[in-house]
Structure 1
């Protein structure tokens, strides 16, 4: 099975998750080293100021980051256990509902993917810091985030 087909299978499984269904997050661009996801605002997503709730922006960023962390290793997922260890976010501007949909972009370098693949193949744990930018529909950044993805060999 080629990596594009495996990526489609991963994305199909992703769409079944309850959090993804609640938020309405959808995949926009998924390729080795890159994951872009989007979320359109729904009434239940707003805070008391009429902006997207900060927790949803955090979740959008985490979704992009973790997707990017596996984007170059989809064919090796059976040998790995992946989890987010931590995350931080800086809110740069109001995420007004009418400025959506909001997109989160996470990218890793080809060198990082190569090193990650080598670590998986040698059964060595790796931690990746995955940067994310969240932007409104005009491309204006509303938040920047970073998450640490821990990738470990799956126990046999």
Structure 2
């Protein structure tokens, strides 16, 4: 997950929790990440959140993720305050949803899941929330 060009460009630190959570952290905002107000730009924050949300979906899919097609279908984001020195996004899929997802993929079917992501500033204050609808499907090449 750390070798993807998008994650490298953002310069994210990513961490996988033992509980199935995924955290993506922008600790070192680059000049191109900052907007005219001196805050981390909204699309960059979205990108940090997407890494955590999609990552949580991959973790939830388990071993089936290696041969699945995973894409963000839709997203909503609510910014509560500006991020100045960086941003942390944390996402996790409920274990019962993860278990159902794995059964569905093993049966050769796909499904959409909701992934909630929280955003926090460097000082731990809430900066916003995101909800991603992630589509997870068996890889078409595996079905041909």
Aligned partner of residue 108 in structure 2, secondary structure:
coil
Instruction: State TM-score, norm by structure 2.
Output: 0.90
Please tell me whether residue 134 in structure 1 is matched to residue 134 in structure 2: no
Partners of 1:151 and 1:32 in 2: CA distance:
21
Describe how 1:30-41 pairs up with structure 2 within 5 A: 30-31=17-18, 33-40=20-27, 41=29
Partners of 2:137 and 2:55 in 1: CA distance:
16
For the aligned residues, what is the CA RMSD? 1.4
Please tell me whether residue 24 in structure 1 is matched to residue 11 in structure 2: yes
Question: What are the ranges of 5 or more consecutive residues in structure 2 without an aligned counterpart?
Answer: none
Instruction: State TM-score, norm by structure 1.
Output: 0.83
Deviation at 1:138, TM superposition (A): 1.6
Deviation at 1:19, TM superposition (A): 1.6
In the alignment, is the contact (CA less than 8 A) between 2:62 and 2:102 conserved in 1? no
Partners of 2:11 and 2:25 in 1: CA distance:
8
Partners of 2:63 and 2:21 in 1: CA distance:
16
Question: What are the ranges of 5 or more consecutive residues in structure 1 without an aligned counterpart?
Answer: 1-13
Deviations 1:47-98 (A, max 9, x none): 000000000000111110000001133311243211111111111001123x
Aligned length: 140
Aligned partner of residue 73 in structure 1, secondary structure:
helix
**Deviation beyond 6 Å, 4+ runs, structure 1:** none
For 1:50, which of 17, 21, 38 is the aligned residue? 38
